[in-house]
Amino acid sequence: MKILVTGAAGFIGSSLCEELVRDEKNEVFGIDCFIGPTPTALKDVNVKKLLHHPRFQFRQENLLSVDLPSLLEDIDVVYHLAAIPGVRSSWGKDFDPYVTNNISVTQRLLEASKNKQLKKFIYASTSSVYGEKQGKVSEDLLPEPLSPYGVTKLTGEHLCSVYRESFRVPTVILRYFTVYGPKQRPDMAFHRFIKQIIHDEPITIFGDGKQTRDFTFIDDCVKGTASVLHQDNIIGEIINIGGKERSSVLEIIELLERVSGKQAKKQFQTKVTGEPMHTWADIRKASSLLNYSPQTSLEEGLKKEYEFFSAFYEGGKR
């Protein structure tokens, strides 16, 4: 099967490519234009191992300017992960790149896909589309995003729906809940905390630290995402990809202290506008449709992420 992965040098994208090439039947084509909050040095690390794989090809190009009909030639499945991520930076004058890269790129890719014989077009969305909800969040709840970022990702979902309805583009939407692990983006909390602990800097906590998240380890996330490839009767579905444990920010810091053997210095700052206080994924649909079952405990996942970034930053990276 020939698979295109957009955002292939990113945290989830590169990990997904590594998972997909394990199947000898797959040829994977990755594209990434190296924009967004992840520095080039980390993206280089993300794709380094893949570049030598015989069934992986990579192009560093922008989806806004690349020849999409040529890119999609003979492609069976598209995983569309390319986007500008992050809630904090999506306000004000910084909103324009979100519109361009999250909405316009998605529309352009769907438009190019409508005349192709794709088996699936899988769109990576986010729990940020839900907004603030009580209890476990199921896919049938009304999305009410709290940030411009969430609005752009929800717009991408709607674009997938209208192209499926009007042109039969075989879309499937996955909503990720706070994915963490090795290669995580530097703007995400665990990466920031680990870097600050390694450099003996105060840990920056936005709000009181009592906010909770449903954390999803990267290996579990990509296994669930890759499983979409071979599942029947899921076209048009929206599916949560969440974790097995919820925790507060303060509890995460305690775990990191245990993993690192260091005492963290906490520095509290104003709560971020646009972030919900709590997230909690109902993953029964993923379990039913994808046989999805997250396996990695929070402490085990944090240990793996800490070890990865210890090696990365001790290697001279800042």
Please give the positions annotated as active site: 149
Determine the distance from the C-alpha atom of residue 86 to the mean position of all C-alpha atoms in its chain, rounded to a whole number: 10
Q: CA-to-CA distance for 287 and 241, rounded, in angstroms?
A: 9
Instruction: Report the 10 Å Cβ neighbour count for 69.
Output: 11
Q: Is 253 helix (H, G, I), strand (E, B) or coil?
A: helix
The secondary structure of residue 2, as a DSSP letter, is: E
Using CA of residue 3, residue 220, residue 281, residue 299, what is the dihedral sign?
Answer: negative
Which residue from 288, 25, 286 is spatially nearest to 176, judged by alpha carbons? 286
Q: CA-to-CA distance for 272 and 120, rounded, in angstroms?
A: 36
Residue 19 tokens, joined: 């998972």
Helix H or strand E encompassing 189: helix 189-198
Q: Do the beta carbons of residue 114 and residue 62 sit within 8 Å?
A: no
Alpha-carbon distances, residue 96 vs 87, 123, 145, 178 (angstroms) = 14, 21, 18, 24
Burial of residue 55 (CB within 10 Å: 0-12, 13-18, 19+) is middle
The secondary structure of residue 83, as a DSSP letter, is: -
Q: Do the beta carbons of residue 16 and residue 5 sit within 8 Å?
A: yes
